[in-house]
């Protein structure tokens, strides 16, 4: 069966339903003065519901879709600070860790070398500082020249700087503070395993290494840690809606994962338009209730403006599309029983609940067909 035949049959069924069993009710009479106007029988009029347009105050909103991502301000990929094979894994995905918690151990000479360098720097700095103090006493008794004193003080200051640099080096490697304290006091440090530590508090969401894997310092990703209390949602907003989206506006995110929506705010509106989709990326920060939102999950997004605006609203059910996919509504003119219906082209703005904002095409006082518009569209084609 052709599409045209199918549409004709569907229209006849709809026409019959509107008229009931009364044969006269199934007759649609076009107005003779203007073929674009329609008049209906009294029975058919009962099937039509009209809404009178009035100025309204409302919060505009933009509806779109988005993809969930980890909050980039509260997540990080953990790189191994040392080279060597993994000897032990201390956490698994899903483990909640504090900042500085040990994640894995590595058999690496880097740790021992760093501690050794620090111990040498401590000894050198201590010795040169002692010499500088002694030279200061000698200078007071004129037993030492000022030049020799200044040289001793310079050597001590340089040694102290080397000691502090070595200390920062071993701290950056995540060496246990107790080991650092022993090295500072000249005590024994024993065997020192390399340790990969958590740079932030959060949940281990990815483990990227296995026991025995050879790691390269500063290059091998080992884990991913994220604070899952909030997530980013990367939404796509088209050019026509960009003027309605601003940083800080309230956002509602819905997903099949929960019947209750998630709340958030607009964090950033992108400065670039994607050349293929003609959309701009908008970053949202969303509270992740019960950790239900997962990375790469698709969600629906509604961005609501913070300030009310005035304008004309029309029911979504009143808006139809013509052969060129342009929006229009049916407007009633005249009074019963001589009511006529005519198309009126409109411009659509944002959707507001069950209504569309109508920037142009309708005026206050117009009566639009809120129910029965499809029947009129079919009847108009007869």
Residues 47 and 111 in one domain: no
Q: Are residues 46 and 125 in the same domain?
A: no
**pLDDT tens track for 180-193:** 777 777 666 555 67
Q: Are residues 95 and 116 both part of a single domain?
A: yes
130: tokens are: 């002692």
315 compared with 111, residue with greater pLDDT = 315
How, if at all, do strands 298-304 and 250-255 pair?
A: antiparallel
The CATH number covering residue 30 comes to: 2.40.420.20
- On whether both 344 and 257 belong to a single domain, the answer is no
Say what the pLDDT of residue 146 is.
Answer: 87
Between these two residues, 77 and 372, which has the higher pLDDT value? 77
Q: What is the CATH number of the domain that holds 160?
A: 2.40.50.100
Query: Average pLDDT in the 229-250 region?
Result: 91
- What's the whole-number mean pLDDT along residues 64-79? 95
What are the DSSP calls for 79-125, one per residue? Answer: EPSS-EEEEEE---TT-EE-TT-EEEEE--HHHHHHHHHHHHHHHHH
Same domain, 262 and 326: no
- β-partners of residue 250 are 265, 304
In this prediction, residue 218 has a pLDDT band, given cuts at 50, 70 and 90, of confident
What is the spatial distance between Cα 223 and Cα 215, in angstroms, rounded to a whole number?
12
Take residue 89 and report the two structure tokens written for it: 């894994």
Tokens standing for residue 3: 């599409």
pLDDT computed for residue 250 by the predictor: 93
Span 328-356, average pLDDT: 85
- Picking from 184, 207, 226, the residue at the C-terminal end of a domain is 226
The C-alpha atoms of residue 284 and residue 335 are separated, in whole angstroms, by 50
Asked whether the beta carbons of 134 and 171 are under 8 A apart, the reply is: no
Q: What is the DSSP string of 225-244?
A: EE-TTEEEEEEEEEGGGGGG
Residue 139 sits in the same domain as residue 95 = yes
**What's residue 16's pLDDT?**
40
Do 124 and 91 belong together in one domain? yes
Average pLDDT over residues 195-213: 93
Closest CA to 320 of 340, 345, 341, 342: 345
Q: What percent of the chain has pLDDT over 70?
A: 88
Instruction: Report the candidate in 118, 131, 238, 99 with the shortest Cα–Cα distance to residue 184.
Output: 118
- Judgement on whether residues 302 and 206 belong to the same structural domain of the protein: no
Domain that holds residue 287: 62-73+228-307
Query: For the whole prediction, is pTM greater than 0.75?
Result: no
| Final residue of a structural domain among 195, 211, 226 | 226
Residues 314 and 284 in one domain: no
Is pLDDT of 318 > 70?
Answer: yes
Single out the residue in 226, 260, 287 at which a domain terminates: 226
* Whether residue 36 is found in the same domain as residue 174: no
- Which token pair is 318? 């009143």
- In this model, does residue 5 exceed pLDDT 50? no
Counting the structural domains of the chain, the total is 3
pLDDT for the residue numbered 89: 95
Q: What is the pLDDT of residues 31-65, one digit of tens each?
A: 333 335 777 777 777 778 889 999 988 887 888 99
Residue-wise pLDDT for 272-287, tens only, equals 998 888 899 999 999 9
Pair (124, 39) in one structural domain: no
């Amino acid at each position: 069966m052709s599409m045209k035949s199918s549409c004709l049959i569907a229209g006849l069924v709809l026409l019959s339903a509107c008229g009931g069993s009364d044969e006269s009710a199934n007759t649609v009479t076009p107005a003779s003065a203007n073929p674009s106007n329609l008049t209906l029988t009294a029975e058919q009029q009962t099937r039509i519901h009209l809404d009178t347009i009035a100025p309204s105050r409302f919060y505009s909103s933009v509806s779109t879709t988005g993809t969930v991502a980890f909050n980039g301000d509260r997540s990080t990929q953990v790189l191994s600070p040392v080279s060597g094979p993994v000897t032990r894994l201390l956490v698994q995905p899903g483990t909640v860790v504090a900042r500085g918690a040990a994640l894995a151990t590595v058999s690496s000479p880097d740790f021992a070398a760093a501690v050794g360098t620090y111990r040498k720097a401590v000894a050198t700095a201590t010795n040169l500082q002692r010499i500088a103090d002694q030279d200061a006493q000698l200078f007071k008794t004129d037993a030492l020249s000022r030049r020799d004193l200044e040289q001793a003080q310079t050597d001590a200051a340089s040694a102290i700087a080397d000691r502090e640099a070595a200390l920062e080096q071993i701290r950056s490697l995540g060496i246990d503070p107790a080991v650092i304290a022993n090295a500072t006091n000249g005590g024994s440090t024993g065997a020192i395993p390399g340790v990969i530590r958590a740079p932030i508090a959060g949940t281990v969401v990815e483990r990227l290494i296995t026991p025995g894997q050879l790691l390269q310092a500063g290059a091998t990703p080992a884990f991913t840690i994220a604070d899952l209390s909030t997530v980013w949602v990367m939404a796509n907003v088209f050019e026509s809606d960009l003027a309605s989206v601003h940083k800080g506006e309230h956002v509602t995110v819905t997903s099949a994962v929960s019947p209750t929506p998630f709340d958030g705010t607009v964090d950033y509106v992108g400065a670039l338009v994607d050349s293929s989709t003609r959309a701009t990326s908008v970053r949202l920060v969303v509270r992740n209730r019960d950790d239900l939102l997962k990375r790469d999950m698709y969600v629906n997004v509604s961005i609501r403006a913070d300030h009310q605006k005035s304008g004309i609203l029309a029911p979504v059910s009143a808006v139809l599309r013509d052969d060129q996919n342009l929006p229009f509504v049916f407007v009633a003119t005249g009074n019963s029983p001589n009511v006529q219906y005519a198309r009126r082209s409109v411009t659509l703005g944002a959707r507001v609940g069950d209504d569309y904002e109508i920037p142009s095409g309708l005026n206050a006082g117009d009566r639009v067909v809120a129910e029965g518009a499809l029947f009129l569209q079919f009847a108009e084609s007869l």
